[in-house]
Amino acid sequence: MSASPGAPGTVPPSPVQVVAAVIRDARGRILLTRRTQGRDLAGLWEFPGGKIEPGESPESALVRELQEELGIRAEVGAQVACVECDNGGKRVRLDVREVRFEGKPRGAEGQALAWVPLHKLPEYPMPPVDRPVVQQLLAQAEE
């Protein structure tokens, strides 16, 4: 008989490793992308990025993901936040970095894009893992 998830003596599954970007335009607005239909948490807004593949560094994963998703060349900067939580039924560890970019972001996978002023980020429905990042960005802006 196998133990049920969460039973004493079982090891919880490792979190999915994800990296995301805080991308700002010349006016200081932050880029959000909308999750497309057919994906977990479809319709919610998030910081662009994606899963880190085995053997890939967070920086190289973010450069790859932003090229694939948005068609931009990214220069990855400092870590903004690192959050781990349940995100729609999956345990996720999200590493968020500041990113400078070249090119014009476009939804290469059909996703909508929005340039959002920092103070308006809380108005956008987001996955649970992105919400603490918004709070951290708002707190940093007050410092």
Which domains are present in the chain? 16-142 (3.90.79.10)
34 assigned to a ligand binding site: no
Per-residue pLDDT 10s for the chain (143 aa) are 344 444 555 656 788 999 999 999 999 999 999 998 877 778 899 999 999 999 999 999 999 999 999 999 999 999 999 999 887 778 899 999 999 999 999 999 889 999 999 999 999 999 999 999 999 999 988 87
Residue 6, annotated ligand binder? no
Closest CA to 66 of 75, 56, 53, 54: 75
Q: Is 47 annotated as a binding residue?
A: yes
Binding residue per annotation — 93? no
Task: Give Cα separations from 114 to 12, 30, 46, 91 (angstroms).
Answer: 36, 8, 10, 26
